[in-house]
């Protein structure tokens, strides 16, 4: 990385995940070797990435998401062990304040009864915030260390810049929405919400005719919620990461002039995006339990 690198290659390289996937027989690897049988490999160049197709895994995103989730669990577990009836201080005071803040938001927004929603909201807020926070690490630092100490070619550290991570989280919210609806209204109530609204009729014949129309509209509305939830987080984080990469690639000697103010501003952005993801999740789960 010490030699001069073309800005286009630099940007493309920094936007590429470390990918593990299966390549078919006949694939030419980066070193010119042709595989005689299909293999699972870590991609080292663009031709290997293209050969993998859809069924591949972004190892770096999964690693960092799991690592930061583990940090959240460890810190809150340690603070829970230190909790006492007296006045908290230091890290314990911060954790208790955060828990009370999230609990207040849930009580004001979720109108059903569930012991799952508040812990879920806390997990989402802290986890998304931590995944966003690593964006403030200089874009070259971790990739440089990885490339200098391992044979790996690609390595990204911000999980929320990967649409696979944000959409997997949002579709998990969709699964919870369906589960909450069935628990509150039963299977019949869930099916009736998809088929008997927004258009209805007293005549049984017209009611049957309207079922396909209602089903298409309700399914589209239901799927739009998790898709927009995941893409909103991904889009905002990707835009911020792209600005950092552009500053490093094109503004040699001026990175601090652009990156430092943008990083300060981004502290607000990463907090806001974590809060939005949490609140929309709570709102969607509340709507799932309410009668129309």
* Residues designated catalytic: 228, 232, 236
Beta-bridge mates of residue 57: 20
In total, the chain counts a number of residues equal to 292
Torsion of CA 175, 181, 186, 188, to 10 degrees: -90
Write the DSSP string, the chain: --S---HHHHHHHHT---EEEEE-TTPBPTTSPBPSS-EEEE--SHHHHHHH-SSEEEHHHHHHHHHHHHHHHHHHHHHHHH--SS---HHHHHHHHHHHHHHHHHHHH--S--SSHHHHHHHHHHHHHHHHHGGGS-TTHHHHHHHHHSS-------GGGSHHHHHHHHHHHHHHHHHHHHHHHHHHHHHHHHHS-SS--SSHHHHHHHHHHHHHHHHHHHHHHHHHHHHHHHHHHHHHHHHHHHHHHH-TT-HHHHHHHHHHHHHHHHHHHHHHHHHHHHHHHHHHHS--
């Amino acid at each position: 990385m010490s030699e001069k690198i073309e800005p286009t290659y630099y940007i493309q390289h920094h936007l590429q995940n470390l990918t593990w996937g299966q390549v078919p027989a006949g694939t030419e690897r980066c070193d010119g070797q042709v595989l005689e049988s299909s293999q699972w490999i870590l991609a080292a160049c663009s031709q290997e990435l293209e050969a993998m197709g859809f069924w591949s895994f972004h190892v770096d995103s999964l690693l960092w998401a799991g690592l930061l989730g583990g940090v959240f669990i460890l810190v809150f577990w340690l603070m829970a062990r230190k909790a006492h009836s007296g006045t908290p201080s230091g890290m314990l005071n911060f954790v208790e304040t955060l828990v009370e803040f999230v609990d207040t938001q849930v009580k004001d927004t979720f109108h059903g009864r569930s012991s799952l929603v508040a812990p879920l909201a806390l997990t989402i807020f802290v986890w998304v915030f931590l995944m966003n926070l690593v964006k403030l690490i200089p874009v070259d630092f971790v990739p440089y260390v990885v490339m200098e100490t391992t044979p790996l070619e690609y390595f990204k550290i911000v999980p929320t810049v990967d649409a696979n991570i944000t959409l997997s989280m949002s579709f998990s919210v969709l699964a919870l929405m369906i589960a909450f609806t069935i628990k509150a209204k039963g299977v019949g109530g869930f099916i009736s919400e998809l088929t008997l609204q927004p258009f209805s009729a007293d005549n049984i014949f017209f009611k049957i005719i309207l079922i396909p129309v209602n089903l298409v509209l309700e399914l589209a509305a239901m799927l739009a919620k998790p898709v927009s939830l995941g893409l909103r987080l991904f889009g905002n984080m990707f835009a911020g990461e792209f600005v950092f990469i552009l500053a490093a690639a094109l503004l040699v000697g001026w990175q601090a002039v652009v990156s430092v103010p943008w990083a300060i501003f981004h502290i607000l952005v990463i907090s806001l995006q974590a809060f939005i993801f949490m609140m929309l999740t709570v709102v969607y789960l509340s709507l799932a339990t309410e009668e129309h």
